[in-house]
Amino acid sequence: MPAKEAAQTACSVHQAGDSANGDADQLFDGRQIGVLTLVDNHTRESLALHVGQRVRGMDVVRVLEGVVNDRGRPGAVRVDNGPEFISK
């Protein structure tokens, strides 16, 4: 497959959508951490992992902007109803 055709195919597949999920856990010493994962639904490739003491809305925006700059805009992003995805 020529490179241009492969790139177009990858782009159209990427348009199928991604999933974003926020999760929280606790370290051995009691400190809280948050993890944001972004996964390509078609290839199941991990596009981004963001770990911090908290995952806030601005963190989500920054991670999504980075993925869009690298790979292009997905057709859709599926999210759960976690607080990092809810605007006030």
Domains of the chain, each with CATH number or no CATH:
3-80 (3.30.420)
DSSP string, 10-61: HHHHHTT-EEEEEEEEE-TTS-EEEEEEEEETTT--EEEEEEES---HHHHH
Name the pTM for this structure: 0.68
Tell me the one-letter amino acid at 81: N
Q: How far apart are CA 65 and CA 77, in angstroms?
A: 13
Per-residue pLDDT tens digits for 30-69: 999 988 888 888 888 889 999 999 888 888 889 989 999 9
CA separation for the pair 29, 10 (Å, rounded):
43
CA 81 – CA 26 distance, rounded (Å) = 21
**pLDDT number for residue 54:** 85
